[in-house]
Amino acid sequence: MSKTLQQLFESRRTYYALQPKSPISDEAITELLKSALWNLPSPFNSQSSRFVLLLGKEHTALWQIVKETLKAKVPADAFVKTEAKIDNGFAAGYATILFFEDTAVVEGLQKSFPSYAANFPLWSQQTSGLHQLTVWLLLEESGCGASLQHYNPLIDDAVKTRWNLPASWQLVAQMPFGTPAKEPEAKEHLPLEDRLKVFG
């Protein structure tokens, strides 16, 4: 039985421990991503969001890039823990979605609507956030566990080179996903009375 939107919000969690399996097919995953790109709103209907779905060896290649990049920057004793986190978590999953924003679109809007020029980069990031959350909820509904990672901008150049992506595509986030290997830890919440004010 399908969950309501509120139930999806409540059940969506960050899953670090993943298995290299998916409860839905690659075709179903692709359709899920197409639906998000096709239906979600964006400022001035700019449609600036871009996705890259990495499956199989391409998924593995991404996390190898992350490890190689970090190995050159992280002290050797600290890298052992970092490598284990990647190998046993993100790389152990089924696939990864890369979220990009096309800066060429943003810059075009800045030129066309100079009065709003300073706002378009911010609105672009808001658009990306909408897409990230929606995809996360759709994966949750499908039975996948996922997390949202941010190894950009350290890996940006290597990612664009590996998959021959346009220079204008700005990497925003990485979402590894798969069948959950275990339940996530309990989530802590700040008091709602400190976060919500109601008047009237």
Identify whether the C-beta of residue 128 lies closer than 8 Å to the C-beta of residue 172.
yes
156 pLDDT band (50/70/90 cuts)? very high
| DSSP 3-state of 149 | strand
Domain borders along the chain are: 5-183
Instruction: Give me the phi and psi of 161, to 5 degrees please.
Output: -70, -45
Q: What is the pLDDT of residue 32?
A: 97
pLDDT exceeding 90 applies to what percent of the chain?
A: 92
Query: What average pLDDT is seen over the chain?
Result: 96
Q: What is the pLDDT of residue 95?
A: 98
Cα(127)–Cα(69) distance, integer angstroms: 28
Q: What is the pLDDT of residues 87-102, one digit of tens each?
A: 999 999 999 999 999 9
Superfamily covering domain 5-183: NADH Oxidase (3.40.109.10)
- Mean pLDDT within 34-41: 97
Q: What is the pLDDT of residues 118-140, one digit of tens each?
A: 999 999 999 999 999 999 999 99
